[in-house]
């Protein structure tokens, strides 16, 4: 019996065949419903689409291990977006008396990447500059220092924007600050963090959306409206750093503007049952829920020792589920996280054997009718089939790379072979 393995066929070959319909839909929708190259008479040049005709699939991968018992990894991908606007930082050891403290964050920029990049380079420094983060931990003081750090960096960027004449662009932030005793979950916007403890979702941050009652009240009090679930019909988040055109109500404090830079900080005492933390931008959460993602990550940790690969599989899952956004995810594992087990590897190998068998059966069935299956047909057939043992939270979608590999293996095995003329011929004399 084989052990579990990764599919060996490159994703771009799959995308070229699988997403042709999606490409046409995206292109048509963002070009006013007209086919590519078609223009109306006298029409001015169209506004550039925020989406590409084909996704950018290269992944940026980061991993690390910390002597005080934490391992982490990040994967990010531009995807269908015209530009990569996500950023991140990982500070597993803050140094000095805070050597056993760590800070991890994902920044999801919008209307440009400038704010996300600036925050990834400077936010932690602003938080530490408050003096609230000390080895002798006071959790209320730490939480207040985090909030003050956010407000200080936003004030600084606002002053720069006024001085240099720019006001577009912002970034959400989701982060976790780990001390030896506590985890401080930090959220400003609609990215999200969750904590898996004892095999289930123990905690997750709440998204800051304009239609949430508390957010809506603040927006309206600051002179804004919410239309199409967006502030003034435009911005889809109600808290962010940057976005200074929404922070010009001089009669209201900075935390009461249409867009607030104030994060929510939630402190949890660490537990031996803690398994992992997930930080991810909305490109992940738009396609998968908390419980499903938690279950999927747990199942992958039992069959894959490379945490970067687990993050990469989450990105693939979100892409295959239809995410059109930049996609970034970070997983921070504690000592209690699931580990690779022989039993899980055996189950995974048996599942992939079953998938390969079903792909072969589809080829046999169609070949008997002198038909040739394409990849979309095989995917649809397997999606409708009853396949036991699929990864929880991922389902058949999470095994598409395995299906692709099996499909091309069948194509190659059934390709007609040209006989070799080893004896030569009269024409060659």
- φ/ψ of 80, rounded to 5, equals -80, -15
Q: What is the pLDDT of residue 159?
A: 93
Contact 189, 144 (CB under 8 A): no
The set of residues, in sequence order, having a beta carbon less than 8 Å from that of 189 and lying 6+ positions away, is 108, 171, 172, 173, 174, 207, 208, 237, 239, 240
Q: Is the pTM of this model over 0.85?
A: yes
- Coil, strand or helix at 247: coil
Q: What is the pLDDT of residue 27?
A: 41
How is residue 235 annotated by DSSP? Answer: B
User: What homologous superfamily does CATH list for 342-413?
Assistant: Phosphatase 2C, C-terminal domain suprefamily (1.10.10.430)
Q: Same fold for the domain at 49-203+259-333 and the one at 342-413?
A: no
Q: What is the pLDDT of residue 367?
A: 86
pLDDT tens digits, residue range 52-86? 999 999 999 999 999 888 999 999 999 999 999 99
Q: What is the pLDDT of residue 287?
A: 96
- Tell me which residue of 63, 135, 148, 145 sits closest to 95, measured CA to CA: 135
Contact 63, 73 (CB under 8 A): yes
Cα separation, 411 vs 374, in Å, equals 10
Cα separation, 360 vs 408, in Å, equals 11
pLDDT tens digits, residue range 158-195? 999 988 887 779 999 999 999 999 999 999 999 999 99
Q: Per-residue pLDDT tens, the chain, 429 aa: give them.
A: 333 333 333 444 444 444 444 444 444 443 344 444 444 444 455 667 889 999 999 999 999 999 888 999 999 999 999 999 999 999 999 989 999 999 999 999 999 999 999 999 999 999 999 999 999 999 999 999 999 999 999 999 999 998 888 777 999 999 999 999 999 999 999 999 999 999 999 999 999 999 999 999 999 999 999 999 999 999 999 999 999 999 999 999 999 999 999 999 999 999 999 999 999 999 999 999 999 999 999 999 999 999 999 999 999 999 999 999 999 999 999 999 999 999 999 999 999 999 999 999 999 999 888 888 899 999 999 999 999 999 999 999 999 999 999 999 998 887 776 666 655 555 544
Domain edges within the chain: 49-203+259-333, 342-413
Burial class (CB in 10 A: 0-12, 13-18, 19+), 190: buried
Domain 49-203+259-333 in this protein, CATH class: alpha beta
Q: What is the pLDDT of residue 427?
A: 52
pLDDT tens digits, residue range 302-352? 999 999 999 999 999 999 999 999 999 999 999 999 999 999 999 999 999
Q: Ramachandran region of residue 415, left (φ > 0), alpha (ψ -120 to 50) or beta?
A: beta
């Amino acid at each position: 019996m084989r052990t579990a393995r990764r599919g060996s066929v490159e994703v771009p070959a799959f995308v070229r065949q699988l997403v042709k319909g999606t490409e046409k839909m995206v292109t048509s929708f963002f070009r006013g419903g007209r086919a590519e190259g078609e223009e109306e008479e006298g029409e001015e040049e169209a506004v550039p689409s925020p989406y590409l005709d084909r996704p950018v699939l290269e992944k940026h991968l980061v991993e690390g291990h910390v002597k005080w018992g934490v391992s982490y990894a990040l994967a990010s991908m531009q995807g269908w977006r015209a530009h990569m606007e996500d950023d991140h930082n990982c500070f597993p050891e803050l140094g000095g008396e805070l050597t056993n403290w760590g800070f991890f964050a994902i920044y999801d920029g919008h209307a440009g990447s400038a704010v996300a990049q600036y925050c990834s380079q400077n936010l932690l420094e602003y938080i530490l500059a408050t003096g609230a983060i000390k080895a002798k931990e006071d959790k209320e003081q730490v939480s207040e220092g985090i909030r003050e750090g956010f407000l200080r960096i936003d004030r600084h960027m606002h002053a720069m924007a006024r001085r240099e004449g720019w006001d577009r662009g912002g970034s959400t932030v989701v982060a976790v600050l780990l001390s030896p005793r506590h985890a401080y979950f930090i959220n400003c916007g609609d990215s999200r963090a969750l904590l898996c403890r004892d095999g289930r979702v123990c905690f997750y941050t709440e998204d800051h959306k304009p239609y949430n009652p508390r957010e809506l009240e603040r927006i309206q009090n600051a002179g804004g409206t919410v239309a199409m679930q967006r502030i003034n019909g435009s911005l889809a988040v109600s808290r962010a750093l940057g976005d200074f055109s929404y922070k010009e109500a001089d009669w209201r404090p900075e935390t009461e503007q249409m867009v607030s830079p104030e994060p929510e900080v939630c402190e949890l005492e660490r537990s031996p049952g803690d398994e992992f933390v997930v930080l991810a931008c909305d490109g992940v959460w738009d396609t998968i829920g908390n419980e499903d993602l938690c279950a999927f990550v747990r199942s992958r940790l039992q069959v894959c020792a490379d945490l970067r690969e687990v993050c990469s599989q989450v990105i693939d899952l979100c892409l295959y589920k239809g995410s059109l956004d930049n996609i970034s995810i970070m997983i921070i594992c504690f000592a209690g996280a699931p580990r690779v087990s022989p039993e899980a590897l055996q189950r995974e190998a048996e599942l992939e054997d079953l998938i390969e068998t079903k792909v072969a059966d589809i080829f046999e069935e169609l070949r008997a009718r002198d038909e040739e299956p394409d990849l979309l047909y095989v995917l649809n057939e397997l999606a409708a089939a009853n396949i036991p043992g699929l990864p929880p939270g991922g389902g058949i979608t999470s095994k598409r790379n395995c299906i692709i590999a099996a499909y091309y293996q069948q194509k190659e095995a059934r390709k007609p072979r040209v006989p070799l003329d080893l004896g030569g011929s009269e024409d060659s004399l």
